[in-house]
């Protein structure tokens, strides 16, 4: 009866279009989350029940995804109840969810060897719009380490969202609000409830920073928690570090045969840095990344001895092995917990479960090295873009330290191309040249080239080179430093032909010398105003040079003006000259800041538009008139 009355009120609420503003509810949106109720019932220091109840009005085909639900589970969080139903717009029952419609799906099956994390997934949909879906699920928690957050905002309007903590007086816990200056709270003796109504959809912009994807939320962290028999605390970052240190205690010892191997490897090294480089390369060559996430094993690393014997492990296992190898040759190193940059930034003043990865910190006397132990195509000391500029927790002997990982520069992530060619009167280009890449650019290219072999590799290179070279035939290619010498630039030498590099019109030839890199019009933000900064994965630089012989008898008629633009966040320059029957062209595009602040947005848009205009401007050659 209570559910029927509540649903009737919801139907009346929709029918009355409350609130009146059409941007919050109505038929002009794909879906409306009418009611979102979240309840976390604390039953003890390590036990709780989480209930979620939702009613969603679905108006369009695109809105059907809001009837698709996935409930996660692991060793400590079990889904114990799922129910659902579909109703028409008037609240009449169409049908209920059946048990055989609930599917169990593993989490990341392609990366994980053994795991207990999975989903229970189902979909509620009707054939005629609009319709309502209502579902409820419950999860039993055996550790408050996984306390679920509250995200009242969605990509569609939300009429009402609540989060209730029942039994909050039984434990100590902290909260951290995002986008909620003073979250509205209603309290009873043992109950605390937060409620928001008439919530507008979250703002979405292209290339927005990861941390801005969550614009409204409330995070929870218990003062103390326990996973299996391992007690821990979120009282401070030191406490978190001590908990992880306890989990890893005794797991950094290598067997004598491994210690002997390590010392043999570094016996001729002339410095500690060289020792690190040698052992990191050994790790890359003799282990592989495989996740084994069963129970506390998702947080507790396997021992260095285990990794040495089995030659695989996940991020924390491989970091443990790396720390142990360095320890065996007298070098101090520390495992480091990190929330990768694609997840946002660490909330420094809120010790809690914010990490999803582990790397290694090596503070040498004259240098500091960071090691990404799951990466096999980068040099020691380099980090992938997802690890750059992150606040991380270094796990030291008796404490933790929040440190920021370094960020690469545009000069670190650089691609240089030098192409020479010969153009015919029919527009066919015969060319040869070289590409050289460093940093994140080289890493991405190395992965693609390694994953594509034989004819697939040739086709991949053909697609990469042929983006602006129509009808490309890649004749030859050679690659240096693909699977070794990662401290050296990746080099690719190519030769081939492009049938339609130059376009003809009467007695003119039109040539665009930007063979490899152009800023496309679609890359320029269209919004007049920006709510968030513009985010790129990393800064970069492209330097492209082309020298092409123009058919005999043709002279340069018109050419784009040389450009040089300097801004706080980037640089662009082109130079060219036509001499001895050849066009010589150079283009430099440098993005120095990976995050462009709102204050520079107008300048950034102007900068990108000028580059697009220049990149699209052709050089025009005309056949000389015979006298």
- Rg of the chain over Cα atoms, rounded to whole angstroms, equals 30
Residues with Cβ within 8 Å of 402's Cβ and at least 6 positions away in sequence, in order, are 237, 346, 348, 391, 392, 393, 394
Residues 390-408: what's their mean pLDDT?
A: 96
- When pLDDT is averaged across residues 42-63 and rounded to a whole number, the result is 96
Output the six-digit token pair for 222.
């218990």
Neighbours of 607 (CB within 10 A): 22
Give the pLDDT score at 2. 43
Nearest to 596 by CA among 572, 567, 565, 566: 567
Is pLDDT of 310 > 80?
yes
Q: Report how far residue 612's alpha carbon sits from residue 524's, in angstroms, rounded to the nearest whole number.
A: 8
Task: Set out the domains of the chain in order of their start, with CATH numbers.
Answer: 2-219 (2.60.40.3140), 230-404 (3.10.620.30), 414-623 (2.60.120.1130)
Contact 201, 152 (CB under 8 A): no
- More confident call, 453 vs 168: 453
Task: Round to whole Å and give the CA distance between 376 and 405.
Answer: 19
For residue 514, count CB atoms less than 10 angstroms from its CB and return exposed for 0-12, middle for 13-18, buried for 19 or more: buried
Burial of 41 (C-beta count, 10 Å sphere; 0-12/13-18/19+): middle
Which residues, 6+ apart, have CB-to-CB distance to 582 below 8 Å? 547, 548, 549, 550
Q: Which residues pair with 176 in a beta bridge?
A: 219
Q: Which residue has the tokens 């500091």?
A: 368
3-state helix, strand, coil in the chain (%, to 5): 25, 40, 40
Q: Which pLDDT does position 15 carry in this prediction?
A: 47
Give the per-residue pLDDT at 182. Answer: 66
**Of residues 490, 486, 498, the one with CA closest to residue 462:** 498
* Lowest-confidence pick of 66-70, 123-127, 466-470, 492-496: 466-470
* Helices and strands (DSSP H and E) totals, the chain: 9, 38
Determine contact, residues 334/396, Cβ cutoff 8 Å.
Answer: yes
How does residue 16 score in pLDDT terms, banded at 50, 70 and 90? very low
Cβ density class 127-165: b for 16+ within 10 Å, e for less: eeebbbbbbbbbbbbbbbbbbbbbbbbbebbbbbbbbbb
CB 253 within 8 A of CB 301: no
Q: Which of 276, 286, 282 is nearest to 312 (CA)?
A: 286
Are 558 and 510 a contacting pair, CB within 8 Å?
A: no
Please check the confidence at residue 110 and state whether its pLDDT lies above 70. no
* Mean predicted confidence (pLDDT) in 589-618: 97
Contact 244, 315 (CB under 8 A): no
Residue 178: CB partners within 8 Å, gap ≥ 6?
214, 215, 216, 217, 218, 219
Tens of pLDDT along 172-185?
A: 999 999 998 766 67
pLDDT band of residue 106 (cuts 50, 70, 90) is confident
Q: What is the per-residue pLDDT across 239-285, written as a single tens digit (0 to 9) for each?
A: 999 999 999 999 999 999 999 999 999 999 999 999 999 999 999 99
The pLDDT value given to residue 8: 52
Token pair 């001499």 is found at 579
pLDDT of 28 reads 85
CA distance 557 to 300: 69
What is the C-alpha to C-alpha distance for residues 351 and 169, in angstroms, rounded to an integer? 20
β-partners of residue 437 are 415, 490
Average pLDDT over residues 297-311: 93
DSSP secondary structure string for all residues of 271-325:
SHHHHHHHHHHHHHHH-EE-EEE-GGGGTSPPPHHHHHHH-EE-HHHHHHHHHHH
* 414 CB neighbour count, 10 Å cutoff: 22
Q: What pTM does this model have?
A: 0.91
Confidence tier at 112 by pLDDT (50, 70, 90):
very low
Q: Is the pLDDT of residue 614 over 80?
A: yes
What's the CA gap between 132 and 113, in Å, rounded?
39
The rounded distance, in Å, linking the Cα atoms of 250 and 258 is 16
Host H or E run for residue 578? strand 570-579
Contact between 84 and 96 under an 8 Å Cβ cutoff? The reply is yes
The reported pLDDT for the residue numbered 188 is 81
Q: How far lies 113's CA from each of 78, 289, 291, 344, in Å?
A: 21, 10, 6, 27
Angle at alpha carbon of residue 252, lines to 246 and 258, rounded to 5°:
165
State residue 279 phi and psi, 5-degree precision.
-70, -35
Convert 8-35 to b/e letters by CB count within 10 Å (16 or more is b): eebbebbeeeeeeeeebbeeebbbbbbb
Find out whether the peptide bond into 170 is cis, omega within 30 degrees of 0.
Answer: no
Closest CA to 558 of 605, 607, 617: 617
């Amino acid at each position: 009866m209570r559910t029927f009355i509540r649903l009737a009120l919801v139907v009346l609420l929709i029918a009355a279009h409350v609130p009146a503003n059409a941007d919050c509810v109505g038929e002009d949106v794909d879906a409306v989350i009418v009611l979102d109720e979240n309840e976390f019932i604390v039953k003890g220091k390590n036990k709780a029940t989480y209930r979620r109840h939702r009613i969603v009005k679905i108006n369009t085909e695109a809105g059907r995804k809001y009837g698709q639900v996935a409930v996660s589970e692991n060793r400590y969080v079990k889904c114990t109840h799922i129910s659902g139903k579909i109703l028409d717009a008037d609240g009449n029952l169409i049908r209920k969810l059946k048990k055989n419609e609930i599917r169990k799906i593993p989490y990341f099956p392609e990366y994980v060897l053994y795991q207990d994390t999975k989903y229970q997934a189902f979909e509620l949909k009707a054939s005629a719009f609009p319709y309502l879906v209502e579902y409820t699920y419950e999860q039993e928690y055996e550790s408050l380490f996984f306390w679920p957050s509250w995200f009242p905002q969605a990509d569609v309007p939300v009429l009402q969202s609540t989060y209730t903590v029942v039994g909050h007086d039984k434990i100590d816990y902290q909260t951290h609000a995002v986008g909620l200056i003073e979250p509205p709270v209603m309290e009873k003796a043992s109950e605390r409830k937060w409620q928001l109504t008439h919530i507008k959809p979250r703002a979405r912009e292209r290339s927005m920073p990861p941390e801005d994807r969550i614009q409204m939320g409330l995070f929870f962290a218990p003062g103390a928690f326990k996973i299996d028999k391992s007690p821990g605390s979120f009282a401070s970052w030191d406490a978190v570090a001590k908990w992880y240190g306890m989990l890893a205690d005794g797991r950094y010892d290598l067997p004598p045969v491994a210690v002997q191997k390590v010392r043999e490897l570094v016996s001729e090294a002339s410095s500690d840095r060289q020792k690190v480089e040698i052992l990191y390369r050994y790790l890359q060559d003799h282990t592989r990344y495989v996740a084994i996430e069963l129970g506390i094993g998702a947080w507790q690393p396997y021992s260095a001895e285990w990794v040495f014997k089995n030659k695989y492990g996940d991020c924390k296992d491989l970091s443990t092995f790396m720390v142990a190898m360095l320890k065996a040759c007298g070098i101090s190193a520390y495992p480091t917990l990190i929330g990768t940059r694609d997840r946002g930034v660490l909330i420094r003043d809120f010790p809690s479960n914010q990490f999803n990865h582990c790397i290694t910190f090596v503070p040498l006397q004259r240098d500091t090295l960071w090691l990404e132990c799951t990466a096999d195509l980068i040099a020691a000391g380099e980090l992938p873009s997802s690890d750059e500029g992150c606040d991380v927790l270094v796990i030291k002997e008796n404490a933790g330290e929040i440190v920021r990982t370094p960020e690469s520069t545009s000069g670190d992530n650089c691609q240089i191309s030098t192409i020479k060619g010969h153009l015919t009167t029919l527009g066919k280009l015969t060319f040869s040249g070289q590409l050289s890449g460093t940093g994140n650019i080289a890493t991405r290219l190395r992965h693609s080239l390694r994953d594509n072999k034989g004819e697939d590799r040739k086709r991949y290179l053909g697609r990469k080179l042929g983006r602006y070279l129509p009808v490309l035939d890649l004749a030859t290619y050679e690659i240096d430093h693909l699977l070794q010498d990662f401290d050296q630039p990746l080099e690719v030498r190519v030769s081939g032909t492009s049938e339609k590099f130059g376009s003809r019109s009467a007695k003119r030839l039109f040539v665009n010398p930007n063979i490899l890199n152009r800023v496309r019009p679609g890359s320029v933000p269209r919004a007049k105003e920006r709510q968030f900064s513009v985010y790129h994965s990393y800064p970069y630089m492209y330097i492209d040079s082309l020298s092409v012989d123009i058919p005999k008898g043709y002279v340069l008629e018109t050419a784009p003006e040389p450009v040089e633009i300097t801004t706080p966040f980037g640089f662009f320059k082109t130079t060219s000259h036509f001499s001895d029957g050849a066009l010589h062209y150079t283009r430099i595009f440098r993005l120095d800041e990976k995050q462009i602040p709102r204050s520079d947005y107008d300048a950034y848009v102007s900068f990108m538009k000028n580059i697009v205009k220049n990149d699209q401007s052709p050089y025009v050659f005309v056949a000389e008139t015979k006298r």
